[in-house]
């Protein structure tokens, strides 16, 4: 059986495609199809006006049109609702979802001098960085991991914040200065996880990739994505969430932030492992009751 799997063409995306391909090759002849997405082509300013599926749209179109059989996405790039006809059919075991700081001097976030320049284009990271250190200057940082690390070494910034998972998949964890705890930097929804997406009617492919699915990771991201969907927040909104298995139950922490770090709304709940979406909606409702909608609307207006 031949299976064409598609994803973005960056070095990190290729590493993620290789993870899925390696799991499928004992049972299928795998062809990797790199696809350039809107997000790969746009500047930050253009990206901010385009929508929620910058890094997935062209890949999903190729899947719906039958040019590929499976898509592999960084789960944090996915909009809260997939295009009609598509489904997440597997979530491989999740990497550590933490964010990390990499600084030129080796200084931790707490030890960075005042007015240090931190590179990050993520509203979620920006809000939490400014909440922890309002004396820092958070500036835009686009590009793939290699590009950001090179620009850091060239002196564009004093430090950058990246996902630990990407560095792990690229074999570059030695460059990390500090792993930021969730209490200081709550991760993006789905961070560290991959999503294998297929057409809903392709039941044979669902069965083929079932062995790649890691049920605990799938439950975690299902809870997180249910939170995101009920908040009606895109993948670039200053919203964070992290689900974890604790003593046979699932615990979800969620938060929404003011873009400038001046305010945050947080909520947490526990639920049954088998009902992750219910837990996600419960935490989202708590955030909404505390005023998350107003906080996020204010961020969209500024």
* 269-299 b/e (C-beta count within 10 Å ≥ 16 → b): bebeeebbbebbbbbbbbbbeeebbebbeeb
Kindly state whether residue 79 falls inside one of the protein's structural domains.
yes
CATH code at position 203 = 3.40.190.10
Kindly state whether residue 185 falls inside one of the protein's structural domains.
no
pLDDT, tens digit, for every residue of 182-218? 999 999 999 999 999 999 999 999 999 999 999 999 9
Kindly state whether residue 67 falls inside one of the protein's structural domains.
yes
The whole-angstrom separation of Cα 224 and Cα 80 is 10
Kindly state whether residue 234 falls inside one of the protein's structural domains.
yes
Nearest to residue 8, comparing CAs of 42, 32, 31, 43?
A: 32
pLDDT at residue 281 in the model: 98
Contact 109, 178 (CB under 8 A): yes
Whether residues 15 and 164 fall in one domain: no
Its domain, for residue 22, covers 1-92+193-213
Kindly state whether residue 186 falls inside one of the protein's structural domains.
no
Whether residues 64 and 203 fall in one domain: yes
| Residues noted as catalytic | 77
Whether residues 199 and 279 fall in one domain: no
Whether residues 65 and 207 fall in one domain: yes
pLDDT, tens digit, for every residue of 5-28? 999 988 999 999 999 999 999 999
pLDDT, tens digit, for every residue of 147-194? 999 999 999 999 999 999 999 999 999 999 999 999 999 999 999 999
């Amino acid at each position: 059986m031949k299976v064409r799997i598609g994803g973005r063409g960056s070095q990190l995306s290729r590493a993620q495609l290789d993870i899925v391909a390696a799991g499928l090759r004992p049972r299928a002849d795998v062809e990797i199809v790199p696809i350039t997405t809107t997000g790969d082509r746009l500047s930050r300013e253009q990206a901010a006006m385009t929508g929620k599926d910058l890094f997935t749209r062209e890949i999903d179109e190729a899947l719906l049109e039958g040019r590929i059989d499976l898509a592999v996405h960084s789960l944090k790039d996915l909009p809260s609702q997939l295009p009609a006809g598509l489904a997440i059919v597997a979530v491989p075991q999740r990497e550590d979802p933490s964010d990390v700081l990499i600084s030129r001097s080796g200084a931790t976030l707490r030890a960075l001098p005042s007015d240090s320049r931190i590179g990050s284009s993520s509203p979620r990271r920006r809000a939490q960085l400014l909440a922890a250190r309002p004396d820092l200057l958070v500036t835009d940082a686009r590009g793939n991991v290699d590009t950001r690390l090179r620009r850091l070494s060239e002196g564009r910034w004093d430090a950058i914040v990246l996902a630990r998972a990407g560095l792990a998949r690229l074999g570059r964890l030695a460059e990390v200065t500090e792993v930021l705890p969730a209490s200081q930097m709550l991760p993006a929804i789905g961070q560290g996880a991959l999503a294998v997406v297929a057409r809903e009617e392709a039941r044979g492919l669902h069965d083929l990739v079932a062995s790649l699915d890691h049920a605990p990771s799938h439950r975690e991201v299902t809870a997180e994505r249910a939170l995101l969907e009920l908040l009606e927040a895109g993948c670039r909104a200053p919203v964070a969430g992290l689900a974890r298995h604790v003593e046979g139950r699932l615990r979800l922490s969620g938060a929404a932030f003011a873009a400038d770090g001046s305010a945050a709304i947080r909520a947490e709940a526990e639920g049954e492992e088998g009902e992750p979406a219910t837990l996600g909606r419960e935490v989202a409702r708590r955030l909404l009751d505390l005023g998350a909608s107003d906080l996020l609307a204010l961020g969209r207006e500024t």
